Amino acid sequence: MYIYLFILAALFYAVCACLPSKKRMAISIGTLIGWLLHGGALWADAVTSNSLRMGFAIMLSGTLWISVAAYWLENRNFTLDGLRILVLPCAAVSVLLPMVFPGSVIELNGRSILFPWHIAIAMLAYSTLTIAAFHAILMALQESKLHTRLNVQKTGLFAMAIDRLPALLTMEKLLFRLIGFGFFLLTLTVLSGVIFSEELFGQAFKWEHKTIFTMLSWLLFGILLAGRKWRGWRGKTALSFTLTGFATLLLAYVGSRFVLEVVLHRGLA
């Protein structure tokens, strides 16, 4: 049954991504319906009373699910059509991935009650920083247009969406608000993983690719926030740090799990 929910959610996302920006109410309602279908399908597929299905596809799908919610809420305060055209197609693809790559089942019996909370906080951190990365891409395009002064008002849906974005300074404030919240959640994820490693994962803390990439991403976002506060970093420096930090974080779990599950055909450890 949940397979049909995945397909319907993908269709709603795809249609809403293609609607013209003047259909604001239809986009809002359609996105909300797709989000509810997406969440229901994820819950039915991944969660039972005694086990949790995990894998790169489910993690990516869950991340985009929360990212869609963040876009939907932000769009109620600001016109973020460019974000819609970036986020919703990615969400439509991510919805379908668990059908192809189901991941592995983790038994929750005998595990700490902290384990699902650790996963939930990690996904919130991933999602917030995913939206920040999309936001940074929009800012880079917006800044490029201002510098080159190209007349792209009638060259397509995406170009018009860029024109409708808030002022660059407003976009920058939103970006750092997202990064600050995402960094806080990522800090909680790192601390819970380090302090409760044996209780969460059944093994003492050890340095591995996932840990190294997560810590590197945390360091990059921390340096960016410190540079913003003490040195006034902005513009290309902020965008570069954001996208590099996001790419590193993506490698930490989704990238490594993709290699293990799809390339090496190994189950979830």
Report the 3 state secondary structure along 207-228: CCHHHHHHHHHHHHHHHHHHHH
In angstroms, what CA-CA distances link 46 with 188, 197, 203, 246? 23, 22, 24, 25
**Most confident of the following: 105-119, 142-156, 178-192:** 178-192
User: Higher model confidence: residue 160 or residue 201?
Assistant: 160
Residue 10's closest CA among 61, 44, 71?
61
In a domain? residue 268? no
Report yes or no: 254 and 62 within 8 Å, Cβ to Cβ. Answer: no
In a domain? residue 74? yes
Average pLDDT rounded to a whole number, residues 116-120: 78
Q: How far apart are CA 257 and CA 210, in angstroms?
A: 9
Average pLDDT rounded to a whole number, residues 211-216: 85
Residue 67 pLDDT class (50, 70, 90 cuts): confident
| 181 φ, ψ (degrees, to nearest 5) | -70, -45
Residue 72's closest CA among 1, 113, 138, 24?
24
In a domain? residue 269? no
Task: Name residue 105's beta-bridge partners.
Answer: 53
Q: How far apart are CA 229 and CA 136, in angstroms?
A: 18
pLDDT at 10 over 60: yes
User: Higher model confidence: residue 29 or residue 49?
Assistant: 29
What is the end-to-end Cα distance of the chain in Å, rounded? 28
Q: In sequence order, which ranges of the chain are alpha helices (DSSP H)?
A: 2-18, 24-46, 56-75, 81-100, 114-148, 157-163, 168-195, 197-201, 209-231, 235-250, 256-258
> For the chain, what is the domain count?
1
The residue segments making up the domain with residue 43 are 2-263
> What size, in residues, is the chain?
269
Q: What is the pLDDT of residue 53?
A: 76
Least confident interval from 24-33, 186-195, 203-212, 247-256: 203-212
Average pLDDT rounded to a whole number, residues 37-56: 80
Q: What is the pLDDT of residue 152?
A: 45
Q: What is the pLDDT of residue 269?
A: 46
Average pLDDT rounded to a whole number, residues 182-209: 74
